[in-house]
Amino acid sequence: MSLFRYKGSKVWTMDFMFHGQRIRESTGTRSKTLAQKIESKRRQKLEEGAGESAVVSARAFFPLQLMIGSKTRRADSRRKPY
């Protein structure tokens, strides 16, 4: 279990690896014991496969979004301001 707080933050953040992908999420709580419970539940959901589809879909969506965004940015940057 890897819990930490960013400097100046009062909320605990979980950070761990799952199937080669880094999972870093806020627990949304100030209590370390509650944050540990939240992290263990998150890991359990990932192991059961409930969260795995979200991780895979986000991984598949991100490169597509980059391709779409880069094409529109190039077209916008070539426009003449007149």
pLDDT, tens only, 44-82: 988 888 554 555 555 555 554 555 555 555 555 666 666
Q: Indicate whether this model's pTM tops 0.85.
A: no
Distance set, CA 56 to CA 7, 9, 53 (Å): 31, 30, 5
Q: Where are the domains of the chain?
A: 3-77
Percent of the residues in the chain that have a pLDDT greater than 70, as a whole number: 59
Tokens in use for 73?
A: 């940015």
pLDDT at 61: 52
Please determine, for residue 22, whether its predicted confidence score (pLDDT) is greater than 70. Answer: yes
pLDDT, position 18: 87
Residues 6+ apart with CB under 8 A from 10: 30
pLDDT on residue 28:
93
